[in-house]
Amino acid sequence: MLGDLLYDYCWVTVLIWAVIYYADYYLSMVGEDLLKQGANKFINIERGYELTRLFVSDVSKKRLLSPRFVLLLLLTIGSVLFVRFIPESPYWFDSKIHRGLFEFIVGAFLLMEAPLLIQHVQNIFVFRYGVSRQGLLGHLEYARWLSHGMVSVYAFCFVLLFLGCFLVTSSFFLAGGAYGCLVNSIAHFRLMRKHLKEKPITKIDASGAAGQSPFEQVGS
In this predicted model, which residue has the larger pLDDT, 175 or 88? 175
pLDDT band at 98 (very low <50, low <70, confident <90, very high): confident
The domain segmentation of the chain, as residue ranges, is 2-215
pLDDT band at 85 (very low <50, low <70, confident <90, very high): confident
For residue 199, what pLDDT is reported? 73
Task: Please determine, for residue 76, whether its predicted confidence score (pLDDT) is greater than 70.
Answer: yes
Residue 179 CA, chain-centre distance (Å), reads 14
Task: Please determine, for residue 214, whether its predicted confidence score (pLDDT) is greater than 90.
Answer: no
Taking a C-beta distance cutoff of 8 angstroms, is the pair 43, 122 a contact?
A: no
**Contacts of 218 by beta carbon, 8 Å cutoff, 6+ apart:** 199, 202, 204
- The whole-number average pLDDT for the span 94-115 is 90
Q: What is the pTM assigned to this prediction? A: 0.86
pLDDT band at 203 (very low <50, low <70, confident <90, very high): low
- The whole-number average pLDDT for the span 116-133 is 96
Q: Which helix (H) or strand (E) holds 44?
A: strand 43-45
Ordered DSSP codes for 76-113:
HHHHHHHHHTPPPBTTTB-HHHHHHHHHHHHHHHHHHH
pLDDT, tens digit, 9 for 90 and up, residues 141-155:
999 999 999 999 999
Closest CA to 115 of 54, 156, 74: 156
Task: Please determine, for residue 205, whether its predicted confidence score (pLDDT) is greater than 80.
Answer: no
Reduce the DSSP state of residue 43 to 3 states and report it: strand
Reduce the DSSP state of residue 218 to 3 states and report it: coil
For residue 74, what pLDDT is reported? 96
